[in-house]
Structure formats: C-alpha cells, structure tokens
Structure 1
C-alpha cells in the first residue's frame, strides 16, 4: 500500500541518479515499515523549470533544486516510522541528487484503511490482521 512521490524539476538530475533514488527509496520504505517490497509504489513526477517557483523565484531563472515529496501510509503506522521515513527520504535526495537539505520539503498523508483500496477491495478488509496487530503494538 505505501506510495511515495518525489517532485523534481525536469533536467536537473541524471537519469541514473533518479533511478537509484527510486530503488533505494523503495528499499527504505520496505525496511522501515516491515512491508513486502511488492506492495511499495514509488514515483517521480518531473516539472518543467518554468512551472516551478522556489522562494518567490522561478526555478528557470536560478536553477535551484528544491524537491518536494509526499508519501501515503495507512493510519496506525507508528509516528517513529513516519519520522524515520521523512528523514530517510530527505537523506536520499541530499545524497543522490545533491540537493541542499534545507530546501527539501516532504510530508506524510495518513489514510484510513477503509478509504484505501487494493484491487478494488478496501484495505480494511484485506489487511485486517495487520491493522489490528499495529493497533495492539501501539497501545501502552
């Protein structure tokens, strides 16, 4: 179920680096969430430089890499895991694409299992045992 999307400015990064980012982000997602990698989805959306603005300046005028990412996880994932992912995806952008850490932005979208489908079936039905186990583990 986990889905990640990196938003990058077109032409700022070598294709091989972006491919490595996709692969390493998939692995990180799988490790942190203890989730089979076949459930992970990672995308890059590229935006034309004239369609991106950072700090009130068009990226086409100053070529400043300032990526944004967001990821979706089911409600019930521990805060610690979500924070590890926020830091880890930022680290990957800095390491692999040479982005300035202070310019990277990212966010988490949590979604109720009944509002997410897998093959057209609500995750609340398909993943009931996993969801219950996470709830129990989170209780003091």
Structure 2
C-alpha cells in the first residue's frame, strides 16, 4: 500500500528521475520494512511556468539562479496508520536525503508530507485493508 509521489520542477534529466524512483522505492521499503512489491513510487513533474518561487514563476527564477538553490521538491507519502512515530520521522529524514542527493540539491529544501490512511479507508481489490490484512495490521500495533 505505501505510496510516494515526488513532485519536482520539470527539466531534470530522465536518467536522474529514474534513479530517484529506484532509490526512493528502496529507501521507503527499507525504512518502513515493507515488501517492495507493495510499494508505488512515481514522480510528478511540474511545469516551471506554473510553479511559483517567492511569488515569481519558476522559469523566470531559474533563468537567474541555479535549480539546486531554488527548487523545493515535495515528497508526499500515503502510509497506513499504526506505524511508530520514530519510523515516520526516520522515513521523512531518509526520503529527504535520497531526494536531495539524487537531484543534487540541499536536503533542507526538500519537504515531506505523510498522509496517514486508516485501514477502513484503503481497499485492496475492493476489500478494506482492515479486513484483507487484519493479522498484519494487528501485528504492527
């Protein structure tokens, strides 16, 4: 179930983005101890003309300043409720680090947001996770 969407400004080389997908997936799986086959990680590229940095379209800012100084990648995670707060803090730190390292930016510029999902509000094949994975969810608590 774990999902990660990484929002970045368009214009990164495709091989860099593919590396980010791979490394972010591996990091997420390791930190939350989830089977890799259950993860989904994707990147959403945002048009710099439709992204404001300090109220100015990013394409104009990028014409004067390096990308690494101005881009603020957003990593948005959807995770089933019930994980210890320490795990959540660790995944935020490590996803920030891998995103910054692969994109060549500063980890302080990366933002991570976790959307906790209640098991009754997530379905697997039409069956609520609270039912489909009851034993697994109970063991996590």
TM-score normalised by length of structure 1 = 0.91
Instruction: State the secondary structure of the residue aligned to 1:76.
Output: coil
User: Does structure 2 retain, via aligned residues, the 8 Å contact 1:66–1:100?
Assistant: no
Cα separation, 1, equivalents of 2:88 and 2:53: 26
Cα separation, 1, equivalents of 2:56 and 2:122: 37
User: Does structure 1 retain, via aligned residues, the 8 Å contact 2:24–2:99?
Assistant: no
Aligned twin of 1:78: 84
Aligned twin of 1:98: 104
Instruction: State the secondary structure of the residue aligned to 2:105.
Output: coil
Give, in angstroms, the shift of residue 14 of structure 1.
1.4
1:50-69 maps to which residues of 2 (within 5 A)?
A: 50-63=49-62, 64-69=70-75
TM-score normalised by length of structure 2 = 0.90
Greater shift after overlay, 44-53 or 25-34?
Answer: 25-34
Cα separation, 1, equivalents of 2:102 and 2:3: 20
Cα separation, 2, equivalents of 1:117 and 1:129: 16
Instruction: State the secondary structure of the residue aligned to 2:34.
Output: coil
User: Does structure 2 retain, via aligned residues, the 8 Å contact 1:2–1:39?
Assistant: yes
User: Does structure 1 retain, via aligned residues, the 8 Å contact 2:79–2:116?
Assistant: yes
Instruction: State the secondary structure of the residue aligned to 2:135.
Output: helix
1:113 to 102, 119, 122: 119
Which blocks of at least 5 consecutive residues in structure 2 are unaligned? 63-69
Give, in angstroms, the shift of residue 65 of structure 1.
1.7
Instruction: State the secondary structure of the residue aligned to 2:71.
Output: coil
Greater shift after overlay, 93-102 or 39-48?
Answer: 93-102
Instruction: State the secondary structure of the residue aligned to 1:62.
Output: helix
Give, in angstroms, the shift of residue 58 of structure 1.
1.6
Which blocks of at least 5 consecutive residues in structure 1 are unaligned? 136-140
Aligned twin of 1:29: 28
